[in-house]
Amino acid sequence: MSRHPIRTLSVTAAALLLLGGCVKKSEYDVLQIENQALQTRVDETNHLLEQSQADLSALQIQMQQFAAVQTQLQKTQQELTQSQAQFKALKAQFDHFRTQRRSAMVGRKFPVLNLDDGKVLREAEITAVTAEDLSIRHADGLARVAFAKTTPDLRWEACYDPQEAREKSREAMLAKVREQGGLPQTAVPAPPSGPPASNVVDVLRAQLAAQRQALNTDYQALAAKNSAALRGVAWNYSQPEASPLLNSLSGSRAILGVSRLQSQRSAILATLQQLRQLDPAAR
């Protein structure tokens, strides 16, 4: 073979090799860029994974702490339940003991019984005992004496508790109110023999305030309709039941609607009378 074809083949091979080398370098650069991008994503993913693992570890610690708190809470709840059961049992025992003490007092006799309020009962005999008072038969008749007015010895013997007495008085008052379908507006209950029940006093005060507010509102509405007839008429907004207009027998005939106000006045006076039975200073 001549040298010319060989040279031609060598040149052609060199050109092909050079051309092939350029294509591979371009692909390499692209692959290298893609590899760098992938490596960056791998690094970011690893960082996120590390952060997630740290968060998971913190969450696991919190869950362990929560489990410990929950266990302690359950233990405390069990102890509370046990304490409540023990308290209930002790209270039942004390109630039974107190009932026996009070029952044993029935029939006890005193030649002379000097009460704390200064009264003297001769030939006295206890006939009944409640949380609030004693029923006593004596030479002059029968008496119902609040424990607060008896003697220290009788209060101790009966396990007297002022809080129990107030609660019993409140329960009796509320039971009477329920039987009558609400606080009565005409009937006045007898004053309680024990200390006043503060909750009942609060109920009556709230009812009195509401009744007075309703009476003032109705009067304002009536005055707006009869401005000429009621011009110059005195009205007591703090104690509307004491207003002169409601004391006038001719008021209901002169102005239509005054009779309704007079009915409201009667209800207020009834409530006020009930309240003063428990709290003489009430106004």
* Stated pTM of the model: 0.42
Task: Choose among 96, 110, 190, 94: nearest CA to 150.
Answer: 110
- 7 pLDDT above the threshold of 80: no
Query: Tokens 């050079």 appear where?
Result: 18
d(CA 82, CA 80): 5
Rounded CA separation 22/200 (Å): 105
Q: How confident is the model at residue 196 (pLDDT cuts 50, 70, 90)?
A: very low
Residue 202's pLDDT is what?
83
pLDDT per residue as tens digits for the range 64-104: 988 889 898 888 988 999 888 999 898 899 888 989 999 99
Predicted pLDDT of residue 129:
93
Q: What DSSP designation does 189 have?
A: P
Q: Which of 132, 122, 136, 186 is nearest to 162 (CA)?
A: 132
Burial code of 206-222, b = ≥16 C-beta within 10 A, e = fewer?
Answer: ebbeebbeebbeebeeb
Q: Look at residue 108 in the predicted model and tell me its pLDDT.
A: 92
Q: Rounded to an integer, what distance in angstroms lies between the CA atom of residue 91 and that of residue 41?
A: 72
pLDDT tens figures, 17-76: 444 554 467 888 888 888 989 999 999 899 899 988 988 988 899 899 888 898 988 889
Answer yes or no: are the C-beta atoms of 144 and 193 closer than 8 Å. yes
Over residues 209-249, the pLDDT tens digits come to 898 988 888 888 888 888 877 778 888 999 988 888 887 54
